[in-house]
Amino acid sequence: MTYKPLFIYVEGSDDHRFVERIIKPLLAGVYDPIIAIECSKKPSKELRRHINGTKATCSACDGEYWYLLDKDDRPCITATKDWLMTTRGVDNVDGDRVIVVVKEIEAWYLAGTDELNKISRLTHTNDVTKEIFSSISKKQGFVSPLEFMLELIGRFSLSDARVYNESLKYYLERLGK
């Protein structure tokens, strides 16, 4: 395979784990290498420099990059992208390269289970926050949300995930999967 990199900027360790365990294997035959970059603790100036380097690399060798960002409590996807570019100060990311996770990455983990209704009484995960995820985790008898995440990854179903979370479905479509 020729060198065709994919860089995926993520906020934190839970996002990084999701990319490494779910997204990376899905795209292994398409991109090489696939690199997840945690950026929540990087200062804006350093992150802008890194993104400029990524964009130059992608331009030189037909690579791609994505920036995954939780919607959190922001009112809409546009407001979330605006927050990234203004408040966070990362104004050099192309808007069409930003994927907004609705509502938080925990929703994507939960979306991949075929037992969603059984374990949570939810019909979708579009409104799942860390707090809701943690509550479901406790009710399922897990010691920590991380333990629950690892269990969900172990039996993750992309077909279920597409049904239960619109933002993950959108991202998979953007990836051609």
Mean pLDDT across 70-75 = 96
Mean pLDDT across 55-72 = 95
Residues 156 and 108: their CA atoms lie apart, in Å, by: 10
Residues 137 and 50: their CA atoms lie apart, in Å, by: 36
Mean pLDDT across 69-87 = 96
pLDDT at 1: 66
pTM for the full predicted model? 0.94
Strand extents, DSSP E, 39-96: 64-70
Residue with tokens 């374990």: 119
Q: Letter for the amino acid at 83?
A: W
CA angle 106, 165, 117 (to 5 degrees): 80
Domains of the chain by residue range: 1-101, 105-164
Report which of 170, 31, 51, 40 is spatially closest to residue 99, judged by C-alpha positions. 170
Per-residue pLDDT of 105-140, as tens digits, reads 999 999 999 888 888 889 999 999 999 999 999 999
Q: Give the SS3 label for residue 119.
A: helix
pLDDT at 118: 87
Mean pLDDT across 19-43 = 96
pLDDT at 3: 87
Confidence tier at 167 by pLDDT (50, 70, 90): very high
Q: How does the average pLDDT of the chain come out, rounded? A: 95
pLDDT above 70 coverage of the chain, percent: 99
Q: b or e along 119-141 (b: 16 or more beta carbons within 10 Å of the residue's beta carbon)? A: ebebeebbebbbebbeebbeeee
Reported as type and span, the H/E element at residue 34 is strand 34-38
pLDDT at 148: 97
Mean pLDDT across 1-21 = 94
Note whether 153 and 161 are within 8 A (CB): no
Residues 105 and 152: their CA atoms lie apart, in Å, by: 13
pLDDT value at 89 more than 90:
yes
